[in-house]
Structure 1
Amino acid sequence: MSRHLGGRGRGDEDFFEADDVMHQPVDRRDPDPWLALWLDKSLPFAPHAKAALIRDQRSFSRQFLLPVVRPFAKLMIIFAQFIHMLTPNFPHAPKFLHWSIAFGMKHFLTPDANMLILRHFHLGAQILRFISDNATPGFHPELEPMQPQTFADVKKNLFLNHDLNVYNYVIALNQELDRRGEVIAKKDKIDYSALHDDIEFEPFKNGRLNLIDLQTAIEIYTPAYAMLLTDRDFWRAANSLQLDETIGLYCARLTGEEKHLAMVNNRHPLVPHSTLQAGYRLMLHGLSTEVLHGFLMQLKARDEARQAA
């Protein structure tokens, strides 16, 4: 299991790490919704990542700041799109955008939010490698590296490159399949070597201002994304989220397991959503990636147990 060295929220008794969490007394007239979600095991989710997400979701910032931020964020996206109607390629400042995101992450986001953000890129890269290992053995689309360890890695156009990687991956993979005259289909022997969960990060800053939760941060960053990238870059980035369904289908066809597709929320890339929904859909994208990776890790463990028997 990977280690999150960032620490927990200040002044918050973290019952998610308590040894007796399963047997804690419950007020039946006022049960804790987050405790119920923590104890529920219906989703294949790495426990430390699930605990970080729940801590972040039940924070003061998520409860009280997000409802204030969200409507203003949507108005700013509309304003940015109006600007880009007039000047589609200006402003275009991806380096400044990523510098500002890295600065905000370091100084204002919770350690849990920062861990989940950086972890997401690692999981996404592993899933894409898993697909090409099995769908096109010997061929791997050329992609930008996605193993960030520090905030400095964010400044290297990390978010923009992540979106570009997904599209370039789908294009190159399918071109190679067409060249081979093959389609993605169930494999009798699956190569799980790309998948692991031993991702480690150095301690994240946990200062007095590190209070902003992940979902609020995403709502704040999305208008900046809309303003500081070209109209085409923002549209492509927002609608890359719907490729969750495409990647999920690839994994389902390779493994013959389709149960996880019910957990994919960003669907139908041929019918794009409005970019005004990008913030919430980005949260769903992160959840889908965690769940798909967790599902594949379960299959890997089952395969290893079968081989050891």
Structure 2
Amino acid sequence: MADSRRRPRSPFLRALEFDDSLPIQPEAVRLWLNDIESPTRWSLRPLLQFLLAMLLHLIWFVKRLPLPQFRAHGLLQRLICWFCTHFVSPSANQLILRHFATESNILNFLIDNCPEVSVEPLTLYPSRIEDMLDASFVKHDQELFRAIEEMGLWRQRPAPLAPQAISWAHWRPLAESDFELPRRRTQVLDFESAHALFMCLFCLLLTREEYRDAINGFNLDQSIAIRVGQLIGDPTLAEMAYNKYPHYLVGPWNLSQRFLMHGFFTEYLYARLERLRLASVASKPRP
């Protein structure tokens, strides 16, 4: 619910609280609406995105030159975690932590239901900002690529899996209590403003190949949705993916929106699968 100290939400935002036509958990909606109402999103964010998008393209250009490459993964993660701890709002921080878990769950769902190959499941489920020092954003990207590679060429399913045949062996349902996010008075920055600040750091402190792969990894959303849709018999899942056509590599243009829509995609697909899991649990006969 809206904070009683704030102005009442607009009719559109109130409608969003109840629109679950696209599958999404109420907790994710609450966090996102809190973030939308952050003053920094409507005042600071447009300026940050305008200025830092120009800086990002400059760094991107320099990194593409035939110069020696360098990386500083540890420094990158320490800076992000410090900034999140002190300046990013709890709602935005929880959305970041949820993203690790939603994507890990989706990939683990694919791994669990591809018995033809043996793939190590993902373990990236940070519950605190400090956990991201290990479960890093770089590792998050690399684990996605590893899982897709190790699953090998996708085998077209002649029919979807029966509900009782679906494996949830490494699925971890999310609850608000899973996350530990103490609040500081300085934590006021919204999700999109924080990303605008982070994106230049990523480009600078990764090699050009690592950064190129990271910003193009979003386009695997469509591939993942197609695979999950075949397993559960729902071809409409591909429509949830804003980022598509992974064979067409892109640069950092429109990165903020593509990043945000990747986050929505994982929330949508996680919620769709969690509904399916809960329905299968409810349908099992009790002993």
TM-score, normalised by the number of residues in structure 1: 0.83
The equivalent residue for 1:139 is: 118
Whether the aligned pair in 1 keeps the contact of 2:212 and 2:251 (CA below 8 Å) is no
Question: More displaced, 297-306 or 72-81?
Answer: 297-306
Q: Please, which runs of 5 or more residues in structure 1 have no aligned partner?
A: 1-6, 16-30
SS in 2 for 1:241: helix
The equivalent residue for 1:192 is: 168
- Alignment pair present for 1:152 and 2:130: yes
**Matches of 1:8 and 1:103, distance apart in 2:** 28
CA change 1:86–1:191 in 2 (3 A) is same
Count of equivalent residues: 282
The equivalent residue for 1:286 is: 263
**Matches of 1:78 and 1:150, distance apart in 2:** 32
Instruction: Describe the superposition over 1:163-212 as per-residue Cα deviations: whole angstroms up to 9, x where unpaired.
Output: 0011111110016x6xxxx5455222212342522363454232222111
Aligned pair partner of 1:260 in 213, 237, 249: 237
**Matches of 2:8 and 2:284, distance apart in 1:** 38
**Matches of 2:67 and 2:12, distance apart in 1:** 45
Whether the aligned pair in 2 keeps the contact of 1:94 and 1:157 (CA below 8 Å) is no
CA change 1:195–1:253 in 2 (3 A) is farther
**Matches of 2:100 and 2:135, distance apart in 1:** 13
The equivalent residue for 1:238 is: 215
The equivalent residue for 2:53 is: 74
The equivalent residue for 2:40 is: 61
The equivalent residue for 1:24 is: none
CA change 1:9–1:223 in 2 (3 A) is farther
Instruction: Describe the superposition over 1:2-34 as per-residue Cα deviations: whole angstroms up to 9, x where unpaired.
Output: xxxxx997944798xxxxxxxxxxxxxxx5221
**Matches of 2:285 and 2:106, distance apart in 1:** 24
Whether the aligned pair in 2 keeps the contact of 1:127 and 1:195 (CA below 8 Å) is no
**Matches of 1:284 and 1:299, distance apart in 2:** 23
Whether the aligned pair in 1 keeps the contact of 2:216 and 2:250 (CA below 8 Å) is yes
CA change 1:262–1:86 in 2 (3 A) is closer
Q: Please, which runs of 5 or more residues in structure 2 have no aligned partner?
A: none
- 1:38 is matched by which residue type in structure 2? E
Whether the aligned pair in 1 keeps the contact of 2:35 and 2:191 (CA below 8 Å) is yes
CA change 1:9–1:139 in 2 (3 A) is farther
- 1:287 is matched by which residue type in structure 2? F
The equivalent residue for 1:4 is: none
**How far off is 1:138 after superposition?**
7.1
The equivalent residue for 2:146 is: 168
- Alignment pair present for 1:119 and 2:98: yes
**Matches of 1:192 and 1:141, distance apart in 2:** 15
Cα RMSD (Å) = 2.5
- 2:266 is matched by which residue type in structure 1? T
Aligned pair partner of 1:50 in 29, 47, 64: 29
